[in-house]
Structure 1
């Protein structure tokens, strides 16, 4: 069971998501200005984002679990909803609000650092069945990875494993692996390389939610029920994080 006071946990989730969003969007803007080559821009954006993700998980996991992703928080709540040591529905709601607020603030910070308006609605349309399928796959495997590590007592590997999956999914899926409703929402606030038009956000979020549901079911199928409360508490400090990338 995590003993960190809730306000500190919420602050960690907000700060971590904000920094992740700032690096994600900022590296995309920087790469776009430095290279005309699409592959080089994508590589730079993905590399900066996954490095930031690994560092932030390692830094903030002992404080909040380092979710930075509403679906990771929801999966944690659902899988431990009958465990007295698990998060409450109220805590889940507050985590999600902290993550959404952090994503918006981080994207605004990235915009400002590159002399853009703090809020600049994206114009890049991303609405297509193959993109939604890709988002479902990327998010489903993320949730399976997170819960599988925790249920098998290997939460300490989360910083490397989660960042590695996000990097692989960025290159291996057609959508670029957003896999995170908070960052998807944040990216709608920057009309830049990593942006997504506000009208495209609901489709992505629905696909991510469907993928997370399947990932949760697969985790139960492959790894069984969650660890007992004592073991889960021991590993919760290494919980997991969320994505990212272009």
Structure 2
């Protein structure tokens, strides 16, 4: 496997660092992919096929939209991992050999780190030119209006507000209000019994259980507000003037 991570912070000497490096395998394949994306004309539809050959687009779309929906304010300038399988056992016709992304270190989400706001436009970040993972969409969006519309349509399906192709329920609605709230409550129920113990160990002077319940409520309120924000942000993406439909 080639596993590339981006992280930043302060080292033991108190110096700030920001680094993108191979945690496993080699960096060269990722650099080659970035050079290809940067030098390719995506107004040619055949090159969208080339992008799909290199990158798992369903994974890319779902990852990008999840980070945007959850409003991970520390992302994408840090806290991401991209990987591919490179050994001979990788399925050359499947997704294992393609570049894929996973969520990592996402505690500043659902309003955390943003004064419980739910209105930050994170869609702007998914196609930013400033980071190597978001450049996977930046130039393709500029060159190919159809791909931008494809992303926006898939995002609406993740939210569960649209399903023009009649996809099965397992492929849509992953970020619907009902399902996200249900998952928050499910995870809260698992963690809740341990909050008094964690509070006693790490912060005995704080009302840990009360703060926990407040944070759960804030997360649920975030979900109520976030869908409308995301739909508005997707509309803005579609009508930005940086792309000319061809």
Instruction: Please give the TM-score of this superposition, normalised by the length of structure 2.
Output: 0.27
| Higher strand fraction (1 or 2) | 2
Compare relative contact order (CA 8 Å, sep 6+) and give the higher one, 1 or 2: 1
Which protein shows a greater Rg? 2
Instruction: Please give the TM-score of this superposition, normalised by the length of structure 1.
Output: 0.27
| Higher helix fraction (1 or 2) | 1
